[in-house]
Structure 1
Amino acid sequence: MVDITRLSTTQPDFWDALRRLTDWDDAHEHRVEGVVRDILKAVRREGDAAVLRYTEKFDRLKAGSVAELELPVEHLRAAFEELPAEQREALEFAARRITAYAERQKIEDFRYDDGHGTVLGQKVTPLDRVGLYVPGGKAAYPSSVLMNALPAKVAGVEDIVMVVPAPDGKLEPMVLAAAWLAGVNRVFMIGGAQAVAALAYGTETVPAVDKIVGPGNAFVAEAKRRVFGTVGIDMIAGPSEILVVCDGQTDPEWIAMDLFSQAEHDEDAQAILVCPESRYLDEVQQAIERMLPGMERSDIIRASLAGRGALICVRDLVEAEQVVNFVAPEHLELSVAQPERMAERIRHAGAIFLGRHTAEVLGDYCAGPDHVLPTSRTARFASPLGVYDFQKRSSLIHCTSAGAAYLGGPAAVLARAEGLDAHAGSADYRVEAADAEH
């Protein structure tokens, strides 16, 4: 029996119960704060020596220098060439689609004349160097390499430095193959908070970067939180999430497997089904009971569903939309008859999968859009990773004498209202010069 929470919007305390269910308890992160603080301080002060010490301590990987932990490019190429043809072709297929989607995201320069002697515009430039953290742990993630590195390459980032933990010196060949395919420039076998610190501050061997992207465990998340400001970061990622809205007409086994697909990530992942048919929720629960024993990661799935999963009965699909917008899920499946119409009313979701045949897993690997998505209700204000995260914008302002005179008067008035006489005087000089010309 899988102990999964059942909720109904008819319960008087439903919204409070839903809030408790979706609140991510990061108490474990608070317990790592002290450890991470000490690691960051040590790496900033000692550089390579601290990186070597922590790599030996946490990954049981001893090296005489950080240079020994860097993989030569030839090693990455060999990993790619030695992959079974089926895996190599799948990586190439995914890379083509991710790149094609990313190409459409690029922000462009623009300029326009305001008609009063001033040209205004925007100059877009890529970041110089990006750090990519690739997690180890319960699974290998070559897809994360592609999803993080390819948008950076499309943006024009010239230097991508990848860090990946190698416990006991072991690495997943597909991760290295993906790094080669995505054009990663340098790869270091270091992980944890020490890797984030090395990327943020730089060491004798690891170059400092401008932004760090990629998911990791609680130590990595806390380290990224603490180095933000010294470098940019993509987001503080919580556990993986899926919310499925179904009208009760999809095969229950399809939905059960879709819930499994996120629950199998780890015990803290969240899988929720919302449906107006109580009978259908029963059918999905029966499918879960029937199918779970055959899943390779059944223990993780069971713990995830019991700890943070839910089957929610709503009055109708309009109410389901309200639940979705409250939860703001990372992944949203609309397994309904008219998914496009429902999607128009969804305001908060990381990625939306439309229709019964669009399984979330397609987005994880090869549909095209990025799978690095906002979690823990942050889709209320955050967006998927994309090319725009690796580009920065500079404003352009070019005034002629007439343009400076046109803008200078109002600027001086506002400056004096703020008590900033030098600001006003700077504008006044231009106005006076323009008047003298005429």
Structure 2
Amino acid sequence: MARINSSANDKKDDWPEKNALAVAKIKKVEKYDAKAVLVDYSYNRVFIHISEIANEHVENINNYVSKDDVVVVKYTGIRKIEKKGKKPIIQHQASLKQVNEEDKKKTFLSCKNDSLRHKFKIKYNIQYLDENKFYNFDNIDMYDICGFSYELGKSFVKSENDLKVTQLRRFFDDLRLIETKDNWELIKPKFHLFKVQLEISLNRNSIPQLFYNLMIKCLSQIETSKEKEENFKIFVRFVESIVAYHKFHTFLSENKSYSEDIFDEESFEIHPLVTIYELNDLIDDEECGELEYANSIARRFLKSKNPKNNLNINQLRKIFNALKNIELYSNNKLTDFYRLKPQISYSFGRGLIPYDFYRLLMFLMDLVYYDNLSNENDNWEKEFINNLKILIKLLESVIAYGKFIEVIDILN
């Protein structure tokens, strides 16, 4: 009987058809092959031989792919490796070089993983800036805004599209001032002046062409839309998110020890007692030991021996209060909830929130949101609010345990 060279967690029947395309994540790069897992097929493992990496001679695979890269592969089937005196080894094989750009794009955008699919949707929309296919503001929501601005914030940091934070802040401050006007007739003169300022900045090489293209396309859409004033407000939120994520990516670029990846479903562990799967249960089930989680989170971040992990309890209160205000007072809870993400990212970029806590919070917020992403029933808003309440309750308990730990320390 042949021995199958695969992970113990592989599900034998969950494989694509031969020559089908699939999204894969690179897990290990070796001298003669790369090992990857198929995202939409139970994370089953495939091998990409060095000869299938690129349509040219490959000396070093690391020049083409790296660990944690997300790629599209063609599943080429099973290869049997015969070894004298031993059972043959069965390997599931895949190819990178047999995938063209158009197939890659289609496969990414049909990925079953909501988070990855949205990320690639955003990536390709950035490319569309030069193809007049940018988002229509009449259809955009805060979820799209956050995803798009996350990638844009990254593209404007230490690259050919480098944008100085002072220049970006100046534009945002100008927009916020314009936003205070009561109606479109009062906004309109300042609106056109803003376009002139963009033109001047471009001619002075103060802003990159990509940023100019982006702003002009947005402003043009606002000007031709029916709801000009409302769309202008959405645009200001968009620029606000770009400012936040620009700060976030600037911090990451200056601190190479941090990983940009927010969470990894296979290996992410925020602290010794809470893994990603337990956190998932926590959001799904209100009765699954929330207080124990809150206690361990408080001890990890509010009383950490590592200064990099220390979270000021006042920062935690601000986040808690923002979420509580959304629950109690917001007329558009989902929009305001997702608008909070870039604001928290900005706080991280300023060094006010430790990275591990930031990752934990982003993951929890995604759990609250993703349950509703493709929900077509009429109760999705109610379910979102229930999930939001669980998150609020968890943070409230973390704050309570934090104060308790402070008191115990004083008494000791």
What's the TM-score once normalised by structure 1's chain length? Answer: 0.26
Name the one with the larger strand percent. 1
Name the one with the larger helix percent. 2
Q: Which has the larger radius of gyration?
A: 1
